[in-house]
């Protein structure tokens, strides 16, 4: 008999109830049980960061969390960034600054950057570089990613 738990969690504002085995990762709950496949698994040991989502606003590796640990939590995934047809400023900047190529690591970088900028609105380019070094990208050489996040940090400061 499998060890199942009924958990509730909110993803991008949408409430969900799901039956999850205790050992099922949050990443698998999001991807395969709830269909939020934008969250990607690159290493399943917490290094690459492709599976980064926001758990109650805090960036977390969803491959290192169990779904049951997210019971009652507010989860933010990449699918929640755009406003309908309109991409977020960070998504736009990633495209404009060529901050993605294959796009596999992109959701993780977007979620990481959103959380980082929310907490560090005054971040400099060097601080941003250090922050995004938490995640791995194999295509871009990181330059476009750092430029995109820096550009958004500056424009958000101007608007603030």
CA angle 65, 111, 4 (to 5 degrees): 25
69 part of the interface to another protein, by CB under 8 A: no
Q: Which segment (3-11, 65-73, 116-124, 135-143) binds another protein by CB under 8 A?
A: 135-143
Interacting residues with another protein between 72 and 91 (CB under 8 A): 77-79, 81-82, 87, 91
61 part of the interface to another protein, by CB under 8 A: no
CB of residue 121 vs another protein: minimum separation in angstroms?
20
Q: Which residues contact 46 (CB under 8 A, 6 or more apart)?
A: 61, 63, 64
Interacting residues with another protein between 86 and 115 (CB under 8 A): 87, 91, 94-98, 100-107, 110
Q: Which residues contact 2 (CB under 8 A, 6 or more apart)?
A: 21
Cα(152)–Cα(156) distance, integer angstroms: 6
124 part of the interface to another protein, by CB under 8 A: no
Cα(61)–Cα(40) distance, integer angstroms: 10
Question: 72 in the Ramachandran plot: left (φ > 0), alpha (ψ -120 to 50) or beta?
Answer: left
Task: Tabulate helix, strand, coil % of the chain (nearest 5).
Answer: 40, 20, 40
Interacting residues with another protein between 26 and 55 (CB under 8 A): 31-32, 36-45, 47-48, 50
150 part of the interface to another protein, by CB under 8 A: no
Give the footprint of another protein on this chain (CB under 8 A).
Answer: 21, 23-24, 31-32, 36-45, 47-48, 50, 77-79, 81-82, 87, 91, 94-98, 100-107, 110, 125-126, 129-130, 132-147
């Amino acid at each position: 008999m499998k060890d199942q738990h009924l958990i509730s969690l909110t993803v991008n504002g949408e409430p969900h109830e799901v039956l999850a085995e205790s050992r099922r990762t949050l990443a698998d709950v999001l991807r395969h049980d709830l269909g939020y496949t934008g969250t990607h698994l690159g290493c399943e040991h917490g290094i690459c960061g492709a599976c980064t989502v926001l758990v109650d606003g805090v960036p977390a590796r969803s491959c290192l969390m169990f779904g049951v640990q997210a019971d009652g939590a507010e989860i933010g995934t990449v699918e929640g960034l755009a406003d309908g047809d309109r991409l977020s400023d960070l998504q736009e900047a990633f495209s404009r600054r060529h901050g993605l190529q294959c796009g596999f690591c992109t959701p993780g970088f977007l979620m990481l950057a959103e959380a980082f900028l929310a907490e560090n609105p005054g971040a400099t380019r060097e601080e941003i570089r250090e922050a995004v070094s938490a995640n791995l990208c194999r295509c871009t050489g990181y330059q476009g990613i750092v430029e995109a996040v820096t550009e958004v940090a500056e424009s958000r400061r101007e608007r603030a």
